[in-house]
Structure formats: C-alpha cells, structure tokens
C-alpha cells in the first residue's frame, strides 16, 4: 500500500546496486581518491564528450572553476539572486563579489537586461543557473557574455541530463558545473563535476582539489602518492572519494530510468495544473527537472503549504533570494531586486523524485486543485 500521508519533496534513490558498489570499495579498503574516481570520470567524459574533473560537492566545483579562471578578490560575478546559497558562497569563497540579478518570470533564469545594467569594469564572469533543469535562453546568455568579454560558468546543478536545442547540457559552452548531492538528478552521496574543453581549467582543478599538490591526480590513479612534490597555488581538500564515485557510477547507469520518471511526473503536473496556477515555461521532453514549482498568490503561499503538509505532502521554497541574506545584503543597491522578492513570496515546490508513483502525483494535484479553487 502506498502511504499517501507521507509524500516527500525529494529523496535519494538508492538500490541494491549502489549498496553492493559501496561494499566493494569498503572491502577493498581503499576509500580515498583512486580507481573508482578515475573510472567515474571516464564514464562522465564519454557521457558529455568533454573533459571532466570530479570533486566533493557542487559548491566546490563552482569555487574551483572560478578560481581556475583567475577570478578572485576585486572581481564581480553576475548571478541571479534566486538560487541556492551555494552559488553565492562559491563566488564569495574566491574573494570575488556576487552581484545579484533579477530573473525572467517564465523560466526563473537570469534577466540579461538587469545583468547589463549591473556590468562594471570589475565584472569578470556570469553564472547562469539552470533553474529547475531548464536553461532559459542560453544562446542569448552566451552572446551577451561574448560581447562583454565575460567567462561563463554554468551552474547546472538542477539539470543533469537536460538538453538545449538538441545538445546535452555540459557538452558545449565554456565551463559547466553540476552537483551530485543526495537529492539531485543523480547522486554520488555528495559530489560535483566540472566539465569543459578548456584543458587549463581541468589541469588546474586536478591539482587544486588535492591541496594544490602538482600531478597528485596522476599518481593516485596509478595507485601511488606524491611524496616529493611542489605546490604553486592555493589548493583545497575537495577531491572525490572512491566511495562516492562507486555510487555515482551506478547512478549514471540508472539515469535513463530516473530521467523517465522525473519527466513523466513533471508532464503530469504540467498537464493538469497549467492554466490554474502559474508554471514555468518548460519542455519536459528536453529538460530533466530537479524540482517542480508552482507560483501562487503571495498572501496564500504559507497557508497552502501548511494545508498540503496536513495532507501528508511535503513542499519546499526554492529559494530565498540571496540579497536578502545578511552576508550578501550589502553588496549592492537591492532596490533593483523587487521582482525576485515577489517571486519568492509566490513559490511552492511540489514533490518530485523517481520513487513517486503516478497515483501519488495525482493525489498532490488533487490537493493543489482543491486549494486554489476554494
């Protein structure tokens, strides 16, 4: 029997294959970065058709990518305010300043007119966040960045497996970072991937993820360690472990099933809720959604969430705009960010993960319909 009283917003989807893979690593007693990480990177290289480097979180992927591009103190990075705080923390970790931008209502991706008004001589990069899995108008983002000489670091944490105009996210563009945390489209427990054709970036991150120890990645992949080594730049202990990679390898093999379920449920929500509540403009035959959001009247949002919780339906809010957080509130004139604040007050994320059933999604839909129609 399905428990319609306990529908989780999101969850990890772990089966016997992941458990066996982790047991294998544990029994071989080599838990750090070695064979499994190398293998996972090979599989990902094949999947994206580009060079990759695995690290321990999506946040670390973004930070190391920025650092590899030479972005640091005194620099500014344009980014939408409506994103997970990880995007902002990755920027400020390098010493650069995140400059919060507005989003487009239809996709909740960065508003380039607003970004343009925030360009200064210090602007070095733009991080487009592929909110919910959709990428907005990525062509325009690249055109904008080329014409203003900005590097692009895509935060594709929501969009593993998504396509844009027939091309897989991560298989083109400048630098793409993806999170593999427990509830993302695929997971390695925790983890992150940097994908790019820029080999200098990959070489830099291969060292910086291992405290800056030069060529340590190569040595570890040969089962060795570096003893007499050099360090020429600030590094971090951000590498991926064999335990994590073992989970990731299995999840990548299972991804087509996860993708099918995520798209199926998003289409089911979209079909029955469109025209009744505001939804994102998204083609779920291209996009593999990480979350499914609805936009409701701001004065109703909290009451709806409470009523859904009483029906056993967990919901979320993705996200509180970062310019409202104490640490980032003084970066700029926040009066330009009213739209993000209003959108925040209207957002509800509905349950979305591959372990849901069609009848559970129907149950959520029925409850949403009865709320908004009453």
- Which of 67/157 has CB closer to ligand PLP? 157
Q: Name the segment binding ligand PLP (CB under 6 A); options: 52-60, 113-121, 144-152, 248-256.
A: 52-60
**Catalytic residue status for 320:** no
188 interacts with ligand PLP by CB under 6 A: no
Determine which residue in the list 18, 22, 58, 277 makes contact with ligand PLP, applying CB under 6 A.
Answer: 58
- In the bound state with ligand PLP, the residue whose beta carbon lies nearer, of 130 and 151, is 130
Given the residues 124, 184, 259, 261, the one annotated as active site: 184
Is residue 158 a contact point for ligand PLP (CB under 6 A)? yes
Should residue 157 be labelled a site residue for ligand PLP when binding is judged by CB under 6 A? yes
83 touches ligand PLP (CB under 6 A):
yes
In the complex, the smallest distance separating the C-beta of residue 222 from ligand PLP, rounded to whole angstroms, is 28
Which of 34, 98, 170, 192 contacts ligand PLP by CB under 6 A? 192
Selected binder of ligand PLP within 86, 145, 175, 294 (CB under 6 A): 86
Which residue lies nearer to ligand PLP by CB, 293 or 368? 293
Q: Tell the smallest beta-carbon distance from residue 71 to ligand PLP (Å).
A: 17
> What is the total count of residues that contact ligand PLP (CB under 6 A)?
14
59 lies in the binding site for ligand PLP (CB under 6 A)? yes
Closer CB to ligand PLP, 186 or 364, in the complex: 186
Binding of ligand PLP at residue 348 (CB under 6 A)? no
3-state SS record for the chain: CCCCCCECCCCCCCCHHHHHHHHHHHHHCCCCCCHHHHHHHHHHHHHHCCEEEEECCHHHHHHHHHHHCCCCCCCEEEEECCCCHHHHHHHHHCCCEEEEECECCCCCCECHHHHHHCCCCCEEEEECECCECECCCHHHHHHHHHHCCCEEEEECCCCCCCEECCEECCCCCCEEEEECCCCCCCCCCCCEEEEECCHHHHHHHHHHCECCECCHHHHHHCCCCCCCCCECCCCCECECCHHHHHHHHHHHHHHHHHHHHHHHHHHHHHHHHECCEECCCCCCCCCCCCCEEEECCCCCHHHHHHHHHHCCECCECCCCCHHHCHHHCCCCCHHHHHHHHHHHHHEEEECCCCCCCHHHHHHHHHHHHHHHHC
Q: Is 129 in the site for ligand PLP (CB under 6 A)?
A: yes
Q: Is there binding between residue 181 and ligand PLP (CB under 6 A)?
A: yes
Binding footprint of ligand PLP on the chain (CB under 6 A): 57-59, 83-84, 86-87, 129, 155, 157-158, 179, 181, 192
Which residues are the active-site residues? Answer: 184
């Amino acid at each position: 029997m399905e428990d319609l009283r306990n529908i989780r917003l999101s969850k990890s989807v772990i089966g016997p294959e992941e458990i066996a893979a982790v047991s294998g690593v544990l029994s071989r007693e080599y838990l750090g970065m070695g064979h499994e990480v190398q293998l996972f990177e090979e599989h990902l290289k094949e999947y994206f058709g580009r060079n990759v480097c695995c690290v321990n979180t999506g946040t670390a992927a973004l930070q190391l990518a920025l650092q590899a591009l030479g972005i640091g103190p005194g620099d500014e990075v344009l980014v939408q305010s409506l994103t997970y705080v990880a995007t902002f923390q990755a920027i400020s970790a390098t010493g650069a300043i995140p400059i919060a931008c507005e989003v487009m209502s239809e996709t909740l991706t960065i508003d380039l007119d607003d970004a343009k008004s925030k360009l200064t001589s210090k602007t070095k990069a733009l991080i487009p966040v592929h909110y919910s899995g959709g990428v907005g108008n990525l062509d325009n983002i690249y055109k904008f960045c080329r014409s203003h000489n900005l590097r692009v670091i895509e935060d594709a944490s929501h969009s593993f497996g998504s396509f844009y105009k027939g091309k897989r996210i991560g298989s083109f563009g400048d630098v793409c970072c993806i999170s593999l945390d427990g509830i993302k489209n695929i997971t390695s427990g925790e983890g992150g991937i940097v994908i790019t054709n820029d080999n200098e970036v990959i070489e830099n991150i291969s060292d910086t993820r291992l405290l800056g120890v030069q060529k340590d990645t190569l040595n570890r992949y040969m089962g060795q360690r570096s003893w007499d080594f050099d360090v020429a730049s600030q590094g971090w202990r951000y590498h991926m472990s064999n335990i994590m990679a073992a989970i990731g390898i299995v999840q990548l093999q299972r991804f087509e099933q996860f993708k099918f379920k995520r798209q199926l449920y998003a289409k089911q929500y979209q079909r029955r809720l469109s025209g009744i509540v505001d939804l994102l403009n998204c083609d779920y035959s291209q996009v593999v959604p990480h979350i499914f959001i609805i936009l409701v009247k701001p004065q109703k949002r909290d009451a709806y969430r409470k009523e859904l919780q009483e029906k056993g339906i967990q919901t979320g809010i993705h996200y509180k705009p970062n310019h409202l957080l104490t640490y980032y509130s003084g970066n700029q004139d926040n009066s330009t960010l009213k739209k993000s604040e209003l959108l925040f007050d209207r957002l509800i994320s509905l349950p979305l993960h591959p372990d849901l059933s069609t009848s559970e999604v129907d149950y959520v839909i029925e409850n949403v319909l009865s709320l908004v129609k009453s």
